[in-house]
Amino acid sequence: MTEHPGAITMKGNPLTLLGNLPEVGQAAPDFEVLDNNLTPVKLSSFKGKICIIASVPSLDTPICDIETRRFNTEAAQLSPDTVILTISMDLPFAQKRWCGAAGIDKVITLSDHRNAEFGAAFGMIIKELRLLARAVFVIDRSGIVRLAQLVKEVAQEPDYGAALSVVKQLA
């Protein structure tokens, strides 16, 4: 797997990403992750929908918490054929507990902990931590990447406006 030393930082400290980010205009690579009930879910199962994929290190951290809550709120203004998937290495049990405590009911949380298929396919694995980097992807109804936004500093929030603008253009 290709290594990208210093591709991102965490509180200023450089970290290495494994794999390659999919490029805008190319088909999004398929992957399998687990939902909160340990059921396998593939990206291809959302074909025909607009997908926002939020890659986060852990829901139990402040920025990931803020980001997921923000996307949950924004979901109400999006077309009904838009889904928001938040993917982390957190265990499905922890994701389910966190969603219940946070009142998250519109974002689908998915776990990449078992095989890191999403992380490998989207170039999101932080080598030093085996966590996912922070990024936002928008995938159109045909499975084409329309936005690939890697957040260079893990401790910062993504550009929500950029992602929501792309989604609204696709709706």
Catalytic residue among 41, 56, 64, 133: 64
Query: Comparing C-alpha atoms, which of 20, 121, 108 is closest to residue 68?
Result: 108
Cα separation of 54 and 105, whole Å?
15
Query: Comparing C-alpha atoms, which of 162, 158, 96, 107 is closest to residue 132?
Result: 158
CA 97, 98, 103, 108 torsion-angle sign? negative
Q: Are 89 and 116 in contact (CB under 8 A)?
A: yes
Cα separation of 157 and 138, whole Å?
16
Concerning whether 64 is annotated as a catalytic residue, the answer is yes
The neighbour count for residue 110, using CB atoms within 10 Å, is 23
Q: Would you please indicate which residues are annotated as catalytic (active-site) residues? A: 64
